[in-house]
Amino acid sequence: MRVSVVIAAYNAQGYIAEAIESVLGQTVPPDEVIVIDDGSTDGTRSVLERFAGRIVALTQGNSGQAVAVNQGLALARGELIGFCDADDLWTARKQELQLARLERDGELDAVFGKVQQFVSPDVPEQQRARLTPAVEIMPGELKQCMLIRRDALMRIGAFDETLPATFFIAWLGRAKQGGLKTAHVDDIVVRRRLHPGNGGRLHTEAQNLQTLMALRKAIKAQRPPE
């Protein structure tokens, strides 16, 4: 089965190369890697140019991560879809382990795995304590921890572009209500980088509001028509 990986990037010049290398360097590499530059104003584009011939890289006007991810999905040709955030890292066997699980069980729609959070080495010492996670390793129901069959993803529908910070939470809620069949591998598949630029850590009030909006949409969708 062909695997397409989608990465959305915005002002990610410090981390995007390492993220891409972690995807390309898999023990079972993906068939295509699509990076959507969401209107970066730093050197992200010049970093992407170093991967010419190894990735598909496109630039759009700054529209938010959900729009960028949906754009990448529209271009993807694989039967399976994976995601990586521009500042995170796939562990070397992520795709190998998840692909094997999906191949063993044709009834499964998607496979997740564990995530390990780490404070980025470039974070100044005076900021490290604030960013240090309470839990380092946990089950990862995050888009970057998921490998999913394309037809299952499309059955649930595209990501909600009105929820730029919590679009995956909203999508996963819809997916679970729609009977998405999932499994988890008991391995760390993603290393999630923590740094001052993490949107959720800088804008917690906005993220909390969007999470509430996503939950309200999910509840409303469950109600029978009046």
Residue 28 neighbours by CB under 8 Å, 6+ apart: 95, 96, 99
Q: In a 10 Å sphere around its CB, with 0-12 CB exposed, 13-18 middle and 19+ buried, how is residue 153 labelled?
A: buried
Residue 226 neighbours by CB under 8 Å, 6+ apart: none
**Euclidean distance between CA atoms 91 and 85, whole angstroms:** 13
pLDDT at res. 197: 83
- Could you report the per-residue pLDDT of 171-206, keeping only the tens digit for each? 999 999 999 999 999 999 999 999 988 754 444 444
Residue 219 neighbours by CB under 8 Å, 6+ apart: none
Min mean pLDDT across 147-151, 188-192, 221-225 is at 221-225
What secondary structure letter does DSSP report for 119?
Answer: E
Domain ranges within the chain, ordered by starting residue: 3-222
pLDDT at res. 216: 52
Report residue 197: phi and psi, to 5°: -85, -5
pLDDT higher than threshold 70 for residue 226: no
CATH topology of domain 3-222: Spore Coat Polysaccharide Biosynthesis Protein SpsA; Chain A (3.90.550)
Q: What number of residues does the chain have?
A: 226
pLDDT at res. 198: 76
Average pLDDT over residues 20-45: 98
